[in-house]
Structure 1
Amino acid sequence: MSTAFVNGVTLGYDDVGSGGAEPLLLVHGHPFDRGMWQPQLRADTGRRVIAPDLRGYGASDVVPGVTSLETFARDLAALLDHLGIELAVLCGLSMGGQIVLEFHRLLPDRVAGLVLADTFAQGETPQGKKERNDRADRLLREGMAGYAHEVLDSMVAPANVAALPDVAAHVLRMMLAAPPEGAAAALRGRAERPDYTGTLGGVRVPTLVVVGRDDGFTPVSDAEYLHARIPGARLEVIEGAAHLPNLERPADFNRALDGLLAAVSAGPAARAGAAAWSTAAADVTKH
């Protein structure tokens, strides 16, 4: 693990691989850390792969209060600056996907491709805002244990909790290790997030929308919403997975991710529009 001091906080991150292609930046969800990307931290992609801990999580500094999606996105941009990276492929899951959408809203010229995994674009409802703030209060009051055990069967499909005990244990460890102050600050920030629907039609880079078939937090309908509004986006539904298909079905997730990376590597024509996905990307099949 390496560290970088950016925007007044120290971020921990992993940095593997090399190559001339645009680096891949992996953005974790809540309440996890960069460890959720273990199956994607591969040195064989022909590019650098960078997985940071967001502020408030993992090895990064904990900042209590409210952490907006814009703050997370600007931290990532500052990390890329620190690493001398101007253009990157951004892959985010759940909250990470919303951070990626915010990054694209702020800095579209720095995005070479998008992966939006198990996430959604719509703004928060009044009820959702209350629930997120109530959950933040609970985490500060009780810690992570009760919440983590309650949602494990939603993060990982119940069948996979039994069939993939190492994966389930890894997911539970990450949730239990999340600092309550950082997790609560992120929840309060997400309660105030904007609606990204209006930005989707302006995406001009290859985009993969991927979702676990059995995801109850962000169901397939949320992925279809994104897919229908992003020009030329590709939709991949991962069978036998819930909210964390990258961990539950890593081979299928990586196959879809590799298709997106192939499209980006096709060059400026592909970057000019997702409809220009290469033949290699078109060979990716739904699983």
Structure 2
Amino acid sequence: MEETPTTLVLLPGLLNDERLWAHQAAALADEVDIHIPDLTRDDSIAAMARRVLDEAPEQFALAALSMGGYVAFEIMRQAPERVLRLALFDTMASLDSPERAATRQGLLELAERGRFIGVSPQLMPRLIHPRWLDSQVSATVQQMASAVGKDGFVRQQQAIIKRADSLPMLGDIQVPTLIVVGADDQLTPVSEAWLMHERITGSRLEILEHCGHLPPLEEPELTTILLREWLAVEFDGRGVRDFVYTY
């Protein structure tokens, strides 16, 4: 039987902070200790992972979104014995395509020249589903980006650009793993979630309809439900439960 975690570590994504996980942290606080690390201080994924491990208890459950997923994979390289469960939201194990890598490098160079604008109106529709564009979800995304700021963004992009390919290590993951992706995610699409699901034995894949790249903000209640189930339910690896949430 799998151990029941007493601590849940929640890793934010690029230009995100603790506000990404606000609903989940509040709703689950009576069930587990919550820790949301600051991933803005280091310029490599390996250093981010070491910082998380230094701050975390000996064993913990680990949930991560987007860039946080890259850190989660690195934690699984550095100290897999410390992670009791793994939840991957809207992330990918593969490296960027040449086109995406070039886009990242261009944004990094603009920021280094002092032209950091946070999340632009042009980028917002790629981050969240159109129904949230004129809502508090959009406002929170902007607020988080402003709080991370240019220096944090530069460090994070440098880390992402230099990250390792995590596809080869997916088969080594032996803990109950939940994979969640928004059906309308344009940054880390459903195909990337399926790729991880196929390579992580016994993993569970959840596809959320009418949702973009940020389920913890776009679908906070459902994200909390999925995390609560993942924290409590044993994964037997005998089959796939692909849950598609519809409205």
Would the alpha carbon gap of residues 48 and 195 (structure 1) be closer, same or farther in structure 2, given more than 3 Å must change?
Answer: same
Distance in 2 (CA, whole Å) between partners of 1:49 and 1:276 is 30
Superposed CA RMSD in Å reads 2.2
Q: For 2:62, what is the secondary structure of its paired residue?
A: strand
**CA distances 1:132-154 after superposition (whole Å, capped 9, x unpaired):** 22211112224432643331121
User: Compared with structure 1, are the counterparts of its residues 121 and 102 closer, same or farther at alpha carbon in structure 2 (3 Å cutoff)?
Assistant: same
Please tell me whether the aligned partners of residues 144 and 178 of structure 1 are also in contact (alpha carbons under 8 angstroms): no
Residue type of the partner of 1:119? T
What residue ranges of structure 2 are gaps of 5+ in the alignment? none
Instruction: For 1:150-161, list aligned pairs within 5 A.
Output: 150-161=122-133
Deviation for aligned residue 1:286: 3.4
Task: For residue 41 of structure 1, give the secondary structure of its aligned residue in structure 2.
Answer: helix
Q: TM-score with structure 2 length normalisation?
A: 0.90
- Partner amino acid for 2:244? K
For the residues of structure 1 that align with 2:10 and 2:66, how far apart are their CA atoms?
A: 12
**d(CA) in 2 for partners of 1:139 and 1:45?**
40
Q: 1 or 2 for the larger relative contact order (CA 8 Å, sep ≥6)?
A: 2
Q: Paired residue for 1:12?
A: none
**Residue 17 (structure 2) aligned to one of 22, 33, 36:** 33
Once the two structures are TM-superposed, the CA of residue 254 in structure 1 deviates from its matched residue by 1.4
User: Cα distance, 1:285 vs. partner?
Assistant: 4.4
Counterpart position of 2:237: 275
Identify which of 60, 67, 71 aligns with 2:47. 71
1:55-70 alignment runs, 5 A limit: 55-56=40-41, 67-70=43-46
Residue number in structure 2 paired with 1:11 = none
Give the Cα separation in 2 of the matches to 1:44 and 1:146: 30
Residue of structure 2 in register with 1:122 after alignment: 94
Provide structure 1 residue ranges, at least 5 long, that are not aligned to the other structure: 1-19, 57-62
Deviations 1:90-148 (A, max 9, x none): 11100001110111111100100101100000123444333222211112224432643
Map Cα deviations across residues 256-275 of structure 1 (whole Å, 9 max, x no partner): 11121113xx5xxx6xxx62
Of 204, 210, 218, the match for 1:240: 210
Dislocated runs of 4+, deviation >6 Å: none
Q: Aligned residue pairs: how many?
A: 241
Bigger mean CA offset, 166-175 vs 121-130: 121-130
Assess, with a 3 A threshold, how the Cα gap between structure 1 residues 126 and 156 changes in structure 2: closer, same or farther.
Answer: closer
Task: Tell me which moved more, 67-76 or 120-129.
Answer: 120-129
Partner residue of 1:113? 85
Distance in structure 2 (CA, Å) of the matches to 1:21 and 1:189: 29
